[in-house]
Structure 1
């Protein structure tokens, strides 16, 4: 559970912004999306390799 302490006199917008940043950094939403459907380990590995190839290609062409 994420806990955000709001300082006295602090605007709620600023606290919400901190909450959203903390939520994004913990990658909870991504984990929930991944758990919606099962992905075989071989498929996960294949996607990782494809992603690595793409990143490598971007570095070499730049």
Structure 2
């Protein structure tokens, strides 16, 4: 369970922003989304290769 202590003189908005940042770093939401649907390991590998190829193509287009 995440705890965020509001410091003296700190606004609630700032404390909420810190809490949201901590929550995002725990990757809870990402894990929930991944567990909604099973993907085979071979599919995952194929997707990572496709993403890497796309990223490389994009970076090369920026250099030119």
TM-score range, shorter chain: 0.7 to 0.9
Is 2:14 the counterpart of 1:24? no
State the distance in 1 between where 2:47 and 2:5 align.
Answer: 39
Q: What per-residue deviation string (whole Å, max 9, x for no partner) do you get for residues 13-56 of structure 1? A: 11100011111222211111001111111111111111000000
State the distance in 2 between where 1:13 and 1:61 align.
Answer: 40
Look up the match of 2:12. 12
TM-score (norm 2): 0.84
Instruction: Structure 1: give runs of 5+ residues left out of the alignment.
Output: none
In the comparison of the two structures, how many residue pairs are matched? 62
* Divergent runs of 4+, >6 A: none
Instruction: Structure 2: give runs of 5+ residues left out of the alignment.
Output: none
TM-score (norm 1): 0.86
RMSD: 1.2
